[in-house]
Amino acid sequence: MPLLGLVHTRIEIVRHGPALTSSDRPEVAVHAEELIPHRRGTEVVVATEARLGGELVWESRSSYLARHRTTHDVPREDAPATGPLPAVAEWRVPGDLGRRYGAASGDRNPIHLHPLTARLFGFPRAIAHGMWTFARCLAEAERTGGPADGARAEFRAPVLLPADVTYAAATAPDGTRFELRSGDRVHLTGETSAPRA
């Protein structure tokens, strides 16, 4: 699968035990688990595990879409009908976010950098990194709802840069449900899980 142009479609993260610190040096293993037909191409699921002293401390599963012509007759997955979440914050996402986040993360996928390079992959403008939107939502969820041992999100529509977006959320004892939207368009849906007792 080509790395350039891959689109992040979903992620799930689980933390086992205390949070990793900057002084920790975990052993990290990454592998592709499966290929899944998608209505717009093929998804690959990538699993990552981090271990300290042989003990699993963190794991994630991410899905990435390689867009291409396909004959797959896979129906679109719609978000569960749970009703709109209440707005919590409004964010202005600047046009250069993709370049700034790419410089910090090392992810310089051309779909995030400039309108011209994004158009080469079928996007009208550069799009925000899915991991930036996920991390920004998690930071807000933890700020308003408390710490989490796990989180998952589904990237539903790209955030075209620049953008004005709304973070919406509902917090319960077992975690926070959240979404990122602009108008009626939902870009990301997700939830956190509260720490286990």
Which string of DSSP letters, residue by residue, matches 90-124? EEEE-TTHHHHHHHHHS---GGGT-HHHHHTTT-S
> Using CA atoms, how far apart are residues 30 and 60, in angstroms rounded to an integer?
10
- Contact, 165 vs 93, CB < 8 A? yes
All structural domains of the chain, each given as residue ranges with its CATH number in brackets, are 1-70 (3.10.129.10), 84-197 (3.10.129.10)
Residue range 173-194: mean pLDDT, rounded: 95
Residue 119 region by backbone torsions, left for phi larger than 0, else alpha for psi between -120 and 50, else beta: alpha
| Structure confidence by residue, pLDDT tens digits, 110-169 | 999 999 999 998 899 999 999 999 999 999 999 988 888 999 999 999 999 999 999 999
> Using CA atoms, how far apart are residues 18 and 55, in angstroms rounded to an integer?
12
Say what the pLDDT of residue 73 is.
Answer: 65
| Structure confidence by residue, pLDDT tens digits, 21-77 | 999 999 999 999 988 888 878 899 999 999 999 999 999 999 999 888 877 666 656
